[in-house]
Amino acid sequence: MAQVEIRPYEGLINRVYEIFSIVDKLPLNMSDEEVEGIMHVLPADLAKTMRAFTIPRIRNTSLKFLGLMKKWLDGAHEAKRVGKKVMLVPFNFPPEIVHSFEGAWPITSEVLSTLGVAALEGQGERYWDYAMGLGLPDFACSANMIEVGSALTESDFAPDAVISDCFASCDINSKTHEFLARYLGIPLLFLEKTVDNSERGIKQYYKYFFRLIEDMEEYLGEKLDEERMRAVVENANRASELFWELWDLHKFAPCPVPNVFSLMVYGVRYTMWGTEEAVQVIRDMVELSKERLARGAYPAEAEVARSLWTYTSYYFDMGGLFNWMEENGITHLGDGLDLIFPQPIDPTSRESMLTGMAEIARNMPMTRQMGASSMSVQWLDDITWASRELDANCCIYCGHHSCKQTWSGASVVRSELMKRAKIPTLILQGDSWIKRMTPISVLQETIEEFVNNVVKKREAPARATG
Nearer to another protein, 343 or 429 (CB): 429
Which CA distances in Å does 307 have to 269, 377, 386, 429, 455? 21, 21, 11, 17, 9
Instruction: Pick the binder of another protein from 18, 31, 56, 134 (CB under 8 A).
Output: 134
Q: Is 3 in the site for another protein (CB under 8 A)?
A: yes
Q: Which stretch binds another protein (CB under 8 A): 97-105, 125-133, 292-300, 301-309?
A: 125-133
CB neighbour list of residue 411: distance below 8 Å, 6 or more residues apart: none
Burial of 199: CB neighbours in 10 Å, binned 0-12, 13-18, 19+: exposed
Q: Is 419 in the site for another protein (CB under 8 A)?
A: no
Q: Is 453 in the site for another protein (CB under 8 A)?
A: no
CB neighbour list of residue 294: distance below 8 Å, 6 or more residues apart: none
Q: What are phi and psi of 24, to 5 degrees?
A: -60, -25
Nearer to another protein, 129 or 248 (CB): 129
Shortest Cβ distance from residue 427 to another protein (Å)? Answer: 9
Q: Is 460 in the site for another protein (CB under 8 A)?
A: no
Nearer to another protein, 172 or 345 (CB): 172
Nearer to another protein, 165 or 326 (CB): 165
Instruction: Pick the binder of another protein from 139, 154, 276, 385 (CB under 8 A).
Output: 139
* Distance in angstroms (rounded) separating the CA atoms of residues 368 and 92: 9
Stretch 210-229: interaction string toward another protein, x if CB under 8 A = -x------------------
* Distance in angstroms (rounded) separating the CA atoms of residues 224 and 231: 12
Collapse the DSSP code of 315 into the 3-class scheme (helix H, G, I; strand E, B; otherwise coil) and give the result: coil
Instruction: Pick the binder of another protein from 96, 192, 284, 391 (CB under 8 A).
Output: 192
Shortest Cβ distance from residue 3 to another protein (Å)? Answer: 4
Shortest Cβ distance from residue 456 to another protein (Å)? Answer: 21
Q: Terminus-to-terminus CA distance in the chain, angstroms?
A: 57
User: Segment 247-286, which members bind another protein (CB under 8 A)?
Assistant: none
Shortest Cβ distance from residue 190 to another protein (Å)? Answer: 7
Burial of 364: CB neighbours in 10 Å, binned 0-12, 13-18, 19+: buried
Q: Which stretch binds another protein (CB under 8 A): 62-70, 160-168, 303-311, 332-340?
A: 160-168
Q: Can you say how many angstroms the Cα of residue 111 is from the centroid of all Cα atoms in its chain?
A: 6
Nearer to another protein, 200 or 287 (CB): 200
Nearer to another protein, 163 or 279 (CB): 163
Which CA distances in Å does 30 have to 21, 119, 240, 289, 425? 18, 20, 30, 20, 39
61's enclosing H/E stretch is helix 59-82
For residue 425, list its beta bridge partners. Answer: 395
Shortest Cβ distance from residue 12 to another protein (Å)? Answer: 18
* Distance in angstroms (rounded) separating the CA atoms of residues 182 and 271: 24
Q: Is 366 in the site for another protein (CB under 8 A)?
A: no
Instruction: Pick the binder of another protein from 375, 390, 421, 447 (CB under 8 A).
Output: 375
Q: Could you give the count of Cα atoms lying within 13 Å of 159 in the half-sphere of its Cβ?
A: 32
Q: Is 417 in the site for another protein (CB under 8 A)?
A: no
Stretch 293-332: interaction string toward another protein, x if CB under 8 A = ----------------------------------------
